[in-house]
């Protein structure tokens, strides 16, 4: 059964409440988000009032315990929200959920004072947050970051540059990963990193230019510069030197979200393809009457449904804790769903013919979006490495 313990590990634990919630998100999407998608694409920005509306309905407090102002919901709710929103606008999901990359480490590893100070305003949508690990010289290789923090005057002085930081433009709070001591050996390069909370407005912190990427228009990451940024000792998240583990645990949760985003994308393309192929006439008949189009539709449904099952299964396991099998499930889901999202998006273009590549046709954007999903929160290679690491530990008790 590796990596599972029993057949019960295959359960997807959705309930009536999850379905009621899904309908609530669908209403928000239909009423407020869908009418603005073309505008988001053309202006490359997400209107603040849409985020405010989502906050009002309680959609920004998902996954945050009630005692910190959130909805107290399990990870399946986050997956459902992400899928429903990404069906029409994956960028909105990124922009509204990126604060999870801040709230997860603070909730899991932060102090009570940090949780009380930073989490409630994020849950209500009053404030925004970002997660700054990646640098121009290091992405997958987290241990290769060059940002340094040294102890100075009762706190830490941070210097470095971060790159590709989603939501940095509107973030009030950042978690920043920096090296605080040299690694003890080449094999243990991951040791000696520390995660800090840095507030916007701290002298020396500057959000630079946006980096224009091919997809997810509306959610474009930025550069962040840290030039002699001083933060007090109580800005450290978790223990000094544990930053690598904290960052990786954060991504283990986040990956299910990206899988759900890819599932939503596939659902969006699938619905468009169905609609288009009954309406579009070629050779005096709707194109859906051609068997080649029907085969495309069925293959898309196969990819979509397999990814959805894997994603909801991973979300169910993650709800029960960050065990090796849950991490394997999360990485499998991210790997499968993002690769299939690319294939589905590409088929979507084929079925739409010329309209598929027309910028205003609203089909090609899904292919662009799928490219980002394949990369952020760990490329396919990093998912494979993660799966192997946890598999070896689980089966043989060996650390890779
Ligand atoms: C739109 C967008 C938003 C982002 N948002 C954030 C954010 O909010 N915060 C943040 O910190 N980062 C963010 N990132 C960064 C993102 O997480 C990294 O881009 C990603 O992890 C890949 O790192 P890299 O770009 O440095 O590629 P590299 O690590 O340089 O990888 C290049 C290639 O080498 C492969 N590779 C690398 N190492 C190995 C290996 N050991 N074995 C096999 N193959 C390997 C990779 O799979 C890839 O194909 C964002 C990126 C994008 C594009």
**Does residue 197 lie within any of the structural domains?**
yes
> Per residue in 215-229, pLDDT tens?
999 999 999 999 999
Hey, which of 163, 170, 379 would you mutate to test ligand 1's pocket, going by the most ligand atoms within 8 Å of its Cβ? Answer: 379
Return d(Cα 275, Cα 124) in angstroms, integer. 37
Residue whose Cα lies nearest atom 23 of ligand 1: it is: 139
Return d(Cα 379, Cα 10) in angstroms, integer. 25
Residue whose Cα lies nearest atom 48 of ligand 1: it is: 379
Number of Cα atoms under 13 Å in the Cβ half of residue 145: 32
**Does residue 161 lie within any of the structural domains?**
yes
- Residue 341: its pLDDT value, please? 98
Whether residues 218 and 301 fall in one domain: no
- Residue 55: its pLDDT value, please? 95
- In the predicted model, is pLDDT for residue 361 greater than 90? no
The least confident of 150-154, 292-296, 358-362 is 358-362
Return d(Cα 55, Cα 190) in angstroms, integer. 37
Residue that finishes a domain, picked among 182, 212, 242: 242
Q: Are 150 and 157 in contact (CB under 8 A)?
A: yes
Of ligand 1's listed atoms, the one at least distance from the Cα of 216 is: 1
- In the predicted model, is pLDDT for residue 126 greater than 90? yes
Hey, which of 376, 385, 387 would you mutate to test ligand 1's pocket, going by the most ligand atoms within 8 Å of its Cβ? Answer: 376
Hey, which of 93, 96, 140 would you mutate to test ligand 1's pocket, going by the most ligand atoms within 8 Å of its Cβ? Answer: 140
- In the predicted model, is pLDDT for residue 400 greater than 90? no
Whether residues 21 and 58 fall in one domain: yes
What's the average model confidence in pLDDT over 303-308?
Answer: 98
Whether residues 90 and 169 fall in one domain: no
Dmax over CA atoms of the chain, in Å, equals: 79
Task: Tell me the residue range of the domain where 119 lies.
Answer: 7-123
Whether residues 294 and 387 fall in one domain: yes
When pLDDT is cut at 50, 70 and 90, the band that residue 100 belongs to is very high
- The pLDDT mean for the chain works out to 96
- Residue 72: its pLDDT value, please? 92
Whether residues 264 and 376 fall in one domain: yes
- In the predicted model, is pLDDT for residue 159 greater than 90? yes
Of ligand 1's listed atoms, the one at least distance from the Cα of 220 is: 1
Dist. CA 367 → ligand 1 center (Å):
19
Binding-site residues, ligand 1, Cβ < 6 A: 98, 130-134, 139-141, 164-166, 213, 216, 221, 372, 375-379, 381-382
What's the average model confidence in pLDDT over 75-90?
Answer: 98
Residue whose Cα lies nearest atom 29 of ligand 1: it is: 140
Whether residues 172 and 222 fall in one domain: yes
> Per residue in 11-30, pLDDT tens?
999 999 999 999 999 999 99
Residue whose Cα lies nearest atom 30 of ligand 1: it is: 139
**Does residue 52 lie within any of the structural domains?**
yes
Which of 350, 351, 349 is CA-nearest to residue 359?
A: 349
Return d(Cα 276, Cα 121) in angstroms, integer. 43
| b/e sequence 321-354, b meaning 16+ C-beta within 10 Å | eebbbbbbbbbbbbbbbbbbbbebbebbbebbee
Q: Determine how many CB atoms are found less than 10 A away from the CB of residue 113.
A: 9
Residue 266's contacts (CB-CB under 8 Å, 6 or more residues apart) are 300, 303, 304, 307, 337, 340, 341, 344, 345
CATH number at residue 13: 1.10.540.10
Dist. CA 382 → ligand 1 center (Å):
9
CATH number at residue 221: 2.40.110.10
Which of 97, 59, 58 is CA-nearest to residue 256?
A: 97
Which of 187, 204, 211 is CA-nearest to residue 135?
A: 211
> Per residue in 43-57, pLDDT tens?
999 999 999 999 999
Say if residue 282 is exposed, middle or buried (CB neighbours under 10 Å; 0-12, 13-18, 19+).
Answer: exposed
Dist. CA 134 → ligand 1 center (Å):
8
Which of 64, 14, 93 is CA-nearest to residue 312?
A: 14
- In the predicted model, is pLDDT for residue 309 greater than 90? yes
**3-state class (DSSP) for residue 283:** coil
Whether residues 258 and 238 fall in one domain: no
3-state SS of 127-194 is CCEEEECCECCECCCHHHCCCEEEEECCEEEEEEEEEEECCCCCCCEEEEEEECCCCCCHHHCCCCEE
- Give, in order, the Cα–Cα distances in Å from 328 to each of 76, 199, 221, 227, 374: 17, 34, 28, 38, 17
What's the average model confidence in pLDDT over 151-164?
Answer: 96
- Residue 399: its pLDDT value, please? 83
What's the average model confidence in pLDDT over 60-82?
Answer: 96
Of ligand 1's listed atoms, the one at least distance from the Cα of 378 is: 21
- Residue 2: its pLDDT value, please? 81
* Secondary structure letter of residue 291 according to DSSP: H
Whether residues 253 and 389 fall in one domain: yes
Pairing, β 285-286 against β 281-282: antiparallel
Residue that finishes a domain, picked among 90, 123, 156: 123
Dist. CA 140 → ligand 1 center (Å):
5
Number of Cα atoms under 13 Å in the Cβ half of residue 39: 9
**3-state class (DSSP) for residue 388:** helix
- Residue 328: its pLDDT value, please? 97
> Per residue in 212-270, pLDDT tens?
999 999 999 999 999 999 999 999 999 999 999 999 999 999 999 999 999 999 999 99
Of ligand 1's listed atoms, the one at least distance from the Cα of 215 is: 1
Dist. CA 75 → ligand 1 center (Å):
24
Q: In the chain, where do the E strands start and end? A: 129-132, 148-152, 155-165, 173-179, 193-199, 205-210, 222-232, 236-237, 281-282, 285-286
Dist. CA 131 → ligand 1 center (Å):
14
**Does residue 267 lie within any of the structural domains?**
yes
Q: Are 109 and 93 in contact (CB under 8 A)?
A: no
Residue that finishes a domain, picked among 123, 150, 166: 123
- Residue 246: its pLDDT value, please? 98
Residue % of the chain over a pLDDT of 70 = 100
Whether residues 215 and 342 fall in one domain: no
Which of 316, 307, 315, 314 is CA-nearest to residue 329?
A: 314
Dist. CA 4 → ligand 1 center (Å):
29
- Residue 129: its pLDDT value, please? 98
> Per residue in 169-198, pLDDT tens?
999 999 999 999 999 998 899 999 999 999
Whether residues 139 and 155 fall in one domain: yes
**Does residue 2 lie within any of the structural domains?**
no
According to DSSP, the residues that pair with 174 across neighbouring strands are 130, 198
pTM beyond 0.95: the answer is yes
Whether residues 152 and 88 fall in one domain: no
**Does residue 238 lie within any of the structural domains?**
yes
Whether residues 157 and 267 fall in one domain: no
Number of separate domains in the chain: 3
- Residue 315: its pLDDT value, please? 97
Q: Are 40 and 91 in contact (CB under 8 A)?
A: yes
Q: How far apart are the first and last CA of the chain?
A: 21
State the alpha helices, DSSP H only, in 57-154: 75-86, 90-97, 100-109, 112-123
SS3 content of the chain, % helix, strand, coil (to 5): 55, 15, 25
- Give, in order, the Cα–Cα distances in Å from 103 to each of 99, 107, 118, 205, 393: 6, 6, 8, 20, 28
**Does residue 1 lie within any of the structural domains?**
no
CATH number at residue 335: 1.20.140.10
**Does residue 328 lie within any of the structural domains?**
yes
The residues annotated as belonging to the active site are 377
């Amino acid at each position: 059964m590796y990596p599972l313990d029993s057949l019960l590990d295959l359960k997807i634990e959705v309930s009536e409440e999850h379905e009621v919630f899904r309908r609530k998100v669908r209403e928000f999407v239909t009423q407020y988000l869908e009418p603005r998608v073309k505008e988001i694409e053309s202006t490359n920005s997400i209107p603040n009032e849409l985020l405010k509306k989502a906050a009002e309905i309680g959609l920004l407090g998902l996954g945050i315990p009630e005692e910190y102002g959130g909805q107290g919901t399990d990870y399946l709710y986050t997956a459902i929200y992400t899928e429903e929103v990404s069906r029409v606008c994956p960028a909105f999901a990124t922009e509204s959920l990126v604060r999870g990359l801040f709230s997860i480490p603070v909730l899991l590893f932060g102090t009570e004072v940090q949780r009380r100070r930073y989490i409630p305003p994020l849950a209500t949508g009053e404030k925004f947050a970002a997660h700054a690990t990646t640098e121009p010289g290091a992405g997958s290789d987290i241990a290769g970051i060059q940002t340094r923090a040294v102890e100075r005057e009762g706190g830490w002085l941070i210097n470095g540059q971060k790159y590709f930081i989603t939501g940095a433009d509107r973030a009030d709070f950042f978690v920043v990963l920096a090296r605080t001591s040299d690694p003890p050996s080449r094999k243990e390069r991951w040791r000696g990193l520390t995660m800090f909370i840095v507030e916007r407005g701290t002298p020396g912190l500057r959000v630079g230019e946006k980096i224009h990427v091919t997809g997810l228009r509306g959610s474009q990451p930025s550069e962040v510069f840290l030039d002699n940024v001083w933060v007090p000792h109580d800005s450290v998240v978790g223990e000094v030197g544990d930053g690598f583990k904290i960052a990786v645990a954060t991504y283990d949760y986040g990956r299910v979200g990206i899988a759900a985003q890819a599932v939503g994308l596939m659902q969006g393309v699938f619905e468009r393809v169905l609609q288009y192929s009954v309406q579009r006439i070629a050779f005096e008949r709707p194109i859906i009457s051609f068997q080649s189009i029907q085969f495309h539709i069925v293959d898309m449904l196969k990819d979509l449904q397999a990814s959805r099952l894997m994603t909801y299964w991973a979300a169910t396991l993650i709800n029960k804790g960050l065990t090796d099998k849950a991490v394997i499930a999360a990485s499998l889901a991210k790997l499968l769903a993002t690769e299939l999202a690319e294939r589905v998006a590409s088929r979507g273009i084929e079925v739409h013919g010329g309209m598929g590549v027309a910028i205003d046709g609203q089909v090609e954007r899904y292919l662009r979006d799928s490219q980002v999903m394949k990369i952020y929160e760990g490329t396919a290679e990093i998912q494979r490495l993660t799966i192997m690491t946890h598999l070896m530990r689980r089966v043989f008790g060996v650390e890779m």
